Amino acid sequence: MTTLVAPNPEAGSKPAQILEAAGLLFMEHGYGAVSMDAVAKKANVSKATLYAHFGSKEELFRAMVACECASSVLAGIWDEATRLPVAEGLRLIGRTFVKFVASPKALSVYRMVLGEVLRFPELAQAFYDSGPAETFIRGREFLAEAAAKGELAIEDADLATHQFFGLLKANMHMKLLLCLSERPSDAELERFVDAAVDLFVKGYAPGAR
């Protein structure tokens, strides 16, 4: 997997204009229907300027997702979480994660990718590499460190990470993606996360097995 460094363009710069325009067009029309010409026009830049910063539409999409993830609240909580008792660190990660994935913008990106994945399989890989993969890696590192400290009894950090994020998303995220339910309130999301963390910590408590 190619590691993508998330861009952090200065507000008002050409890359920032391009990423904002691309995001608006992708969300409104879908990935397949948007051309680089349309992005250049929306961003009010020349095609030469556009290609000077982003070599292809896939690269532009990767950068857009990576930029959104880098600027999200999720990107800034990992160091803080490691300084907390393990259950509180997991609550911080969980609450931040579910609020992010349940946000209108994140749901729109998920829906757009799912709607285009059969025609553009590279889109799914670009989306996963630029966002969810990084969250999974950081979550796995957190759990591996907790196990090394003896706070949790985890032998397979990969499996435990799948289980943790699975508990957090559960059926709630699927129903939101399908527009079958309204977004829960923050209090409801926190209640959901607290229950998931309690279950996870009990299951992986030292001496529980």
**Domain layout of the chain by residue ranges:** 14-65, 72-203
| pLDDT the model gives residue 76 | 79
- Average pLDDT (70-87) is 84
Closest CA to 190 of 172, 206, 177: 172
Structure tokens given for 31: 């990935």
Structure tokens given for 192: 């959901």
Identify the residue whose tokens are 């097995």. Answer: 209
Binning pLDDT at 50, 70 and 90, where does residue 164 land?
very high
pLDDT in tens, 145-162: 999 999 999 999 999 999
Say which CATH class 14-65 falls into: mainly alpha
Q: Domain spanning 72-203 has what CATH number?
A: 1.10.357.10
- Average pLDDT (61-75) is 73
* Integer Cα distance of 206 and 147 in angstroms: 9
The answer, yes or no, to whether residue 3 has pLDDT greater than 80, is no
The answer, yes or no, to whether residue 4 has pLDDT greater than 60, is no
- Average pLDDT (173-180) is 94
pLDDT in tens, 21-50: 998 898 888 888 899 999 999 999 999 999
Helix 86-101 to helix 157-177 angle (10° resolution) is: 30
| pLDDT the model gives residue 7 | 56
| Angle, CA of 34, 39 and 40, to the nearest 5° | 145
Binning pLDDT at 50, 70 and 90, where does residue 5 land?
very low
Identify whether the C-beta of residue 25 lies closer than 8 Å to the C-beta of residue 38: yes
The pTM is what?
Answer: 0.79
In Å, what is the CA distance from 92 to each residue of 32, 98, 102, 193? 37, 10, 16, 9
